[in-house]
Chain A
Amino acid sequence: MEKSKGYKIFTLFNTLLMLFVAAVCLYPFYYIIVASVSDPSTLMRHRSWLVWPVGEPTLDGYRMVLNNRRVFSGFANTFRILGLGLLFNITLTALGGYVLSLNNLLLRKPLTLIVIFTMYFSGGLIPSYLNIRDLGLMNSLWALILPGAVSTSNLIIMRSAFMAVPESLTDAAKIDGAGHFQVLFRILLPLVKATMAVMVLYYGVGHWNSWFSASIYLRDNTKYPLQLVLRNILLRSQQQDMLSDVPMAQTPQAMLLIKYSLIVVSSVPVICIYPFLQRFFQKGIMIGAVKG
């Protein structure tokens, strides 16, 4: 292939630009990590870029974060919500997707309409809030699990995956006398494993990131999920949440250090696993794009 001078210059600039994009995406994390081990008093006076920890490196921030009861209970509550929530999410989405994929069902059209209409119109924040209150779910973790138990777009993706399975496979099982449950669990689910993985990831990320419902429905801070604990410490600088068993945690210097360390502690699990999850997400985005 002939290479013109202009093309060479373009390649050079393009490579530099791509490096710049990668750097902009990574630098904030690098900054946070470096700041989390810096000497807090020096850090308070520092204003510009960080390339290397300033002052005497310290792990005090991590010590204070790991001694913080709220951070611990936050992780525990988030995992509890993830476990229970995913159980409901996956079961209901699989059931709903399966039934709506059956083409010999007389009521398939109206049921599909009932489901899809919710993508276009909702009661909105206030009626939903009052609904949870009337159901007596205030201050309960169920208020974070039940209202989002089914995501309509995920249900539609699931339905498309079931529809893509050749009918001859399920027909054979039905002739052998298999009921709907057996067809779904024995034959279909093993065939749509990849889509199931995408569902687990989509719902899982949703639970992991969620803080708003917790902030309006929960009162006891022992029930707060991790993201709400993070909101209170990182963005509201709430003292009572920061107070660990370490007395020095009350100075502004310590607060700053706690913030940086907490960001690292709460994001490291995700950053460690995301390169492995990437291909599922890519698949999911393509599934989402061609659905229906």
Chain B
Amino acid sequence: MKKGPFLPKLKKDLRRNRGAYLMFLPVLVYYLIFCYKPMYGVIIAFKNFVPTKGILASPWAANHGLVHFISFFKSVYFGRLIRNTLVISITSLFVTFPLPIVFALLLNEVRSRHFKGVVQTCSYLPHFISTVVVCSMVTLFVNEKGFITHLLVQLGIAEEGFSLLTNKDFFVPIYVLSGLWQTLGWSAIIYVAALSGVDQELYDAARIDGANRLQQTIHVTIPAIMMTIIMMFILRLGSVMSVGSEKILLLYNEAIYETADVISTYVFRKGLVDSSWSYSAAIGLFNSTINLILVVSANRISRKLAGMSLW
């Protein structure tokens, strides 16, 4: 592009590409109204928001506008919410991250193409079921009469006559294992694809050198998909503080808040149930700021290591 004063250049560009800018206008309007306006609305976190007065006219909060943040950090919920959010997301990470890789590796060893296809198709099925239905199925299976409860009672793990969802020790396993069921086959797709791209000659060379199947897997297959694994792992780490609220809202109840309540569900209850607008907006802002830092760092690391990033 030619150098020169910016404004005349911009004028010329706007005239020349008028059609393109007009096409972008509705998209821009969407982003301004539905993404940037709520970002501006975040300032209610520093105010005592009164719905009838609106955002601008509402008075600023005490302590230089930080009173909601301070009272959240001092409240008994703070530690519990951070702990639950981290426990749920880290347990999920350590279960739902490695197992699809193992599944893809084992599936790769199946010789019959037909059998492989059937197993893979079955493994996707749970991914296509809506969250509401998955959670209803979980609830039906683990209630006081459900077959999973019955199984655990026979194994001596659970008490007879109680829904597992009323026991705080069972929430994390239920959440994580149902998540595994939903995503195992689906998350494996990317590794299955990476595995099918491994050069066949590498295996032949390894075999000539006398490597058996296990050695071939360790020295050829795993190094070949290592980059994909590292990248996926780093990106997952970036979202470690953001546990989605939908599945938890559908599964939890007051009896197990101690282990099931996370930041996003607390924001929902405080804001939309108790109408503590400013307080819950402050907690939400705290959470999205941490997420921003985590995602940006994860991207930096991934870009340095693998030369790949989220965008």
Q: How far, in angstroms, from A49 to B277 measured CA to CA in the complex?
A: 47
Q: With an 8 A cutoff between CB atoms, is B115 at the interface?
A: yes
Proximity bits, B20-51, A CB within 8 Å = 1, else 0: 11011011101101111111111010000001
Binds B, one of A63-71, A187-195, A238-246, A274-282: A274-282
Q: How far, in angstroms, from A15 to B193 measured CA to CA in the complex?
A: 20
Residues in B neighbouring A116, C-beta threshold 8 A: 311
Binds A, one of B77-85, B89-97, B128-136, B168-176: B128-136
How would you classify the secondary structure of chain B's contact residues: helix, strand, loop or mixed? helix
Residues in A neighbouring B39, C-beta threshold 8 A: 121-123, 127
Q: How far, in angstroms, from A259 to B135 measured CA to CA in the complex?
A: 12
Nearest opposing residue in chain B for A92, CB measure = B27
Q: How far, in angstroms, from A107 to B24 measured CA to CA in the complex?
A: 11
Q: With an 8 A cutoff between CB atoms, is B218 at the interface?
A: no
Known contacts A25-B126, A235-B132, A267-B129; is-contact A130 B109 (Cβ 8 Å): no
Known contacts A131-B38, A131-B41; is-contact A181 B23 (Cβ 8 Å): yes
Nearest opposing residue in chain A for B32, CB measure = A114
Can you list 30 A-B pairs with a CB-CB distance of less than 8 A? A4-B212, A10-B109, A14-B109, A15-B110, A18-B106, A21-B103, A25-B122, A26-B125, A47-B149, A95-B24, A95-B26, A99-B24, A105-B17, A121-B292, A122-B35, A125-B280, A126-B284, A130-B38, A130-B277, A131-B34, A131-B38, A131-B41, A180-B23, A181-B19, A211-B132, A231-B250, A263-B136, A270-B130, A271-B128, A282-B193
A residues with a Cβ closer than 8 A to B are 4, 6-7, 10-11, 14-15, 17-19, 21-22, 24-26, 28-29, 31-32, 44, 46-50, 91-92, 95-96, 98-100, 102, 104-107, 111, 114-116, 118-131, 135, 146-147, 149-150, 155-156, 179-181, 184, 205, 208-209, 211-212, 216, 227-228, 230-231, 234-235, 259-260, 263, 266-267, 270-271, 274-275, 278, 281-282, 285-286, 289, 291-292
Expressed in whole angstroms, the minimum distance between the Cβ of A47 and any Cβ of chain B is 4
Residues in A neighbouring B208, C-beta threshold 8 A: none
- Among B31, B271, B280, B309, the most chain A Cβ lie within 10 Å of the Cβ of B31
Residues in A neighbouring B124, C-beta threshold 8 A: 274, 278, 281
Report the 7 A-B pairs with minimum CB-CB distance, sorted nearest first. A123-B38, A127-B41, A124-B284, A234-B136, A106-B13, A96-B27, A22-B122
Q: How far, in angstroms, from A91 to B29 measured CA to CA in the complex?
A: 14
Q: How far, in angstroms, from A62 to B193 measured CA to CA in the complex?
A: 41
Q: With an 8 A cutoff between CB atoms, is B233 at the interface?
A: no
Q: How far, in angstroms, from A48 to B295 measured CA to CA in the complex?
A: 45
Q: Which of B181, B295, B309 contacts A25 (CB 8 A)?
A: B181
Cβ contact within 8 Å between B311 and A156: yes
Interface size of B by CB at 8 A reads 90
Q: Which of A18, A50, A156 contacts B107 (CB 8 A)?
A: A18
Q: With an 8 A cutoff between CB atoms, is B281 at the interface?
A: yes
Residues in A neighbouring B111, C-beta threshold 8 A: 11
Q: How far, in angstroms, from A192 to B311 measured CA to CA in the complex?
A: 20
Known contacts A129-B271, A130-B41, A282-B189; is-contact A25 B250 (Cβ 8 Å): no
Expressed in whole angstroms, the minimum distance between the Cβ of A35 and any Cβ of chain B is 8
Known contacts A15-B110, A47-B147; is-contact A235 B23 (Cβ 8 Å): no
B 186-202 contacts with A by CB, 8 A: 189-190, 193
Residues in A neighbouring B246, C-beta threshold 8 A: 211-212
Nearest opposing residue in chain B for A31, CB measure = B147
Residues in B neighbouring A119, C-beta threshold 8 A: 310-311
Q: With an 8 A cutoff between CB atoms, is B140 at the interface?
A: yes
Cβ contact within 8 Å between B126 and A49: no
Residues in A neighbouring B147, C-beta threshold 8 A: 31, 47-50
Known contacts A44-B145, A146-B34, A147-B34; is-contact A285 B26 (Cβ 8 Å): no
Q: How far, in angstroms, from A14 to B151 measured CA to CA in the complex?
A: 25
Residues in B neighbouring A282, C-beta threshold 8 A: 189, 193
Cβ contact within 8 Å between A111 and B28: yes
Cβ contact within 8 Å between A235 and B24: no
Q: How far, in angstroms, from A124 to B24 measured CA to CA in the complex?
A: 25
